[in-house]
Amino acid sequence: MLEAVLSRVRPSPLERDRLKSVARKIVSRIEELADARGVEGEPMLVGSAARGTWLSGDHDLDIFIGVSEGSNLSSALEIARRVAPNFEERYAEHAYVHAIFEGFEVDLVPCYLVEDGSKILSAVDRTPFHSRYVSARIRGREDEALLLKQFMKGTGVYGSELKVGGFSGYLAELLVIRRGSFISVLEEAAHWRPGEVIDLEDHSSREHEDPLVVVDPVDPGRNVAAALTLDRMFTFVAASRLFLEEPKLDFFFPAPVSPLSDDELRDQIAKRKSTLILLEFEAPDQVEDVIFPQLRKAEQSIRALLDRNGFSVMRSDVDWHRNLPLGGGERGGSEWRGLLRIFLELSVASLPRVERRIGPPVWEAEHSKKFAASHPYPLSGPYVEDGRLVVETTRKFVDAPELLRSQVANLSVGRHLGPQLRRGYKIYVGQEILEVEDLEFRAFLARYFSAREWV
């Protein structure tokens, strides 16, 4: 069975030759631009493409442009801007260029050429050390890395970006280097517990508090698994156990999720009989790893608001959708940035107007006095129940959507999302969600309603 997986994920000789050809052209272009301007700029192919551990069909290249420690990264950035006409400038810890070159998506990243991976000037400076470390140890095990990466991809735990909170490619490769094979990695992972520590070089004494700690062999103070969430870690653990018990191709290649049709969405609403609420607003012009932590913060702030006011949230999720609506159509202005969506499912969305407020024990005289004074016009009370003061008052908000419309723009949701919310948003409730037709959102709903992992 594993050979059948490899036949689908191992790049063909033609694919490898094509990637090498494009990489050589980009490297040569960078060298020409650097020479013409009389500036230093050492191009380096890094990442899985450099190590032969990339999955078939992935047309992504990471090419770093190194400058000496005393230089300015701006010269390398200027070269990156001129490599391809189709590019955009992005920003992580510092600016880099994302370009399209002969059908490949290419990240052109300025970095410093430091001598020690533990003495970096910016986070990307350690990446060339990662590439050299893995390349020297992964030879002969590339297929094992491909199997592990596809297994992680199929079970939804691959990707260290903050949207996913999963395993990076580098982390997967280190696990293969440590254990030697895909199956051996799964056998070890099946017994992981929170706080697991893996140190390939036995050279770290630093304490970490992450669910999984994999000490970076080129920078002992860093945890390679720092982005991995507890849920993603144990989704992988559970999937490893199940696969070892009963191997199936579905672990690697799950059935694709189809966007919900109107009838399917109506059916879900009718079956669940909960209250579905969608908050939608325009995304700011920021990269994904800036947006998603703030989007999760907004989700938690909204849940806390609803909980404080007596509305029970059963489940929620968020996403960033950039697809066109069903049937096509043009997006104008800044709509290319897409829409941020916070989806909430409430067990209770409407409450009675009367609300009980439970106060302090009667024997706490001063607190009792303040409590009574803070409710001068109750519907009933104050009276004593189980030794405490109780009043029944008029609830300000009896409807969850009404509460959201009144308060959501004032919540703490992050420095980039706050201004966007205040510029405008839409709230859809129940059947109104049918008005949102774009395919990405309908696929998101399909995944939400059929949530099931290999556990």
Instruction: Tell me the C-alpha distance between 349 and 362, whole Å.
Output: 33
330: pLDDT strictly greater than 70: no
For 352-378, what is the mean pLDDT? 92
324: pLDDT strictly greater than 50: no
Q: For the whole model, what pTM was predicted?
A: 0.86
Q: Regarding predicted confidence, which is higher, 163 or 121?
A: 163
327: pLDDT strictly greater than 90: no
- The two beta strands, 354-361 and 313-321, are unpaired
Instruction: Tell me the C-alpha distance between 209 and 227, whole Å.
Output: 12
What's the chain's length in residues?
455
325: pLDDT strictly greater than 50: no
For 5-16, what is the mean pLDDT? 96
The pLDDT value recorded for residue 452 is: 77
Helix (H, G, I), strand (E, B) or coil at 95: strand
The pLDDT value recorded for residue 323 is: 59
User: How many CB atoms are located within 10 Å of the residue 60 CB?
Assistant: 14
Phi-psi region of 428 (alpha: psi -120 to 50; beta: other; left: phi over 0): beta
For residue 259, whether the previous peptide bond is cis, meaning omega lies within 30 degrees of 0, is no
Helix (H, G, I), strand (E, B) or coil at 99: strand
How much of the chain, in percent, has pLDDT values that exceed 90?
Answer: 75
The pLDDT value recorded for residue 377 is: 86
Q: Evaluate whether residue 217 is within a structural domain.
A: yes
Q: Extract the tokens encoding 136.
A: 């020297």
Residues 370 and 403 in one domain: no
92: pLDDT strictly greater than 90: no
455: pLDDT strictly greater than 80: no
Residues 386 and 408 in one domain: no
User: Which whole-number Å values give the CA distances from 393 to 77, 310, 364, 369, 407, in the listed order?
Assistant: 62, 14, 22, 17, 20
Q: Extract the tokens encoding 357.
A: 């407020």
Average model confidence (pLDDT) across the chain = 91
Q: Evaluate whether residue 300 is within a structural domain.
A: yes
Q: What is the CATH number of the domain that holds 283?
A: 3.30.70.590
User: How many CB atoms are located within 10 Å of the residue 11 CB?
Assistant: 20
Residues 386 and 346 in one domain: no
- Determine which of 203-207, 277-281, 401-405 has the lowest per-residue pLDDT on average: 203-207
> For the chain, how many structural domains are there in total?
4
Instruction: Tell me the C-alpha distance between 268 and 275, whole Å.
Output: 11
Residues 346 and 414 in one domain: yes
Q: Evaluate whether residue 268 is within a structural domain.
A: yes
Q: Evaluate whether residue 428 is within a structural domain.
A: yes
Q: Evaluate whether residue 130 is within a structural domain.
A: no
Instruction: Tell me the C-alpha distance between 240 and 179, whole Å.
Output: 14
Q: Hey, what's the torsion of the CAs at 321, 323, 325, 330, to 10 degrees?
A: 120
- Among the listed residues 295, 268, 309, 339, the one whose alpha carbon sits nearest the alpha carbon of residue 405: 309
Residues 237 and 267 in one domain: no
Residues 240 and 298 in one domain: no
Residues 382 and 425 in one domain: no
Residues 180 and 222 in one domain: yes
For 390-418, what is the mean pLDDT? 91
Q: Dump pLDDT digits (tens) for 160-218.
A: 988 999 999 999 999 999 999 999 999 999 999 999 999 999 887 678 889 999 999 99
Task: Report CA torsion sign: 60, 4, 14, 20.
Answer: positive
Instruction: Tell me the C-alpha distance between 374 and 378, whole Å.
Output: 10
DSSP per-residue string spanning 324-340: PPTT-----TTGGG-EE
Q: Evaluate whether residue 360 is within a structural domain.
A: yes
The pLDDT value recorded for residue 289 is: 85
Residues 343 and 361 in one domain: no
The residue behind tokens 């036949």 is 7
Q: Dump pLDDT digits (tens) for 222-273.
A: 999 999 999 999 999 999 999 999 999 999 999 999 999 999 999 999 999 9
How much of the chain, in percent, has pLDDT values that exceed 70?
Answer: 96
CB 97 within 8 A of CB 54: no
The pLDDT value recorded for residue 239 is: 97
Which of the four pLDDT bands, split at 50, 70 and 90, describes residue 39? confident
Q: Evaluate whether residue 129 is within a structural domain.
A: no
Residues 381 and 434 in one domain: no
117: pLDDT strictly greater than 90: no
Instruction: Tell me the C-alpha distance between 100 and 422, whole Å.
Output: 35
Residues 152 and 10 in one domain: no
**H helical segments located in 120-229:** 127-137, 142-154, 169-179, 182-189
Q: Evaluate whether residue 210 is within a structural domain.
A: yes
The pLDDT value recorded for residue 70 is: 79
CB 438 within 8 A of CB 278: no
- Please give the span between the terminal C-alpha atoms of the chain, in angstroms, as a whole number: 21
Which residues span the domain enclosing 325?
262-350+398-449
Residues 295 and 341 in one domain: yes
Instruction: Tell me the C-alpha distance between 339 and 425, whole Å.
Output: 10
Highest mean pLDDT among 179-183, 285-289, 319-323: 179-183
Q: What is the CATH number of the domain that holds 111?
A: 3.30.460.10
299: pLDDT strictly greater than 70: yes
The residue behind tokens 């696929």 is 443
